[in-house]
Amino acid sequence: MIAKFFPWYSEITRPQKNALFSAWLGYVFDGFDFMLIFYIMYLIKADLGLTDMEGAFLATAAFIGRPFGGALFGLLAVWQTNLAVSRSAGRQIWP
């Protein structure tokens, strides 16, 4: 059934299907995690004593700050990985 709409799906192997499902599942959980703040905003506002405008600002700041945080910490992760790889390569060359 799914191969009718997505012909490439019948051509991929079982490990590739598992990887695709895992990536999709991560995407779903990431979206739920992000939307959770909007589901419980009324509790956050009541607990912190925020007005509707302050709650909206908090949600907007989270929505706008998310890509910037992802880019910043993504670059940090790449930098740390490159640093770790270069250190381990250096140890192999100069013990």
Burial annotation 71-87 (CB, 10 A radius, 16+ → b, else e): eeeeeeeeeeeeeeeee
Which residue did the predictor score with more confidence, 1 or 77? Answer: 77
Kindly report, residue by residue over 25-78, the tens digit of the pLDDT. 999 988 887 888 888 999 999 999 999 999 999 989 988 998 898 899 888 888
- Where in the sequence is the domain holding 24, given as residue range(s)? 14-89
Note the pLDDT of residue 86: 65
The average pLDDT across 83-95 equals 62
**Residue 6, domain member (yes or no):** no
**Residue 20, domain member (yes or no):** yes
**Residue 46, domain member (yes or no):** yes
Please tell me the total count of domains within the chain: 1
**Residue 94, domain member (yes or no):** no
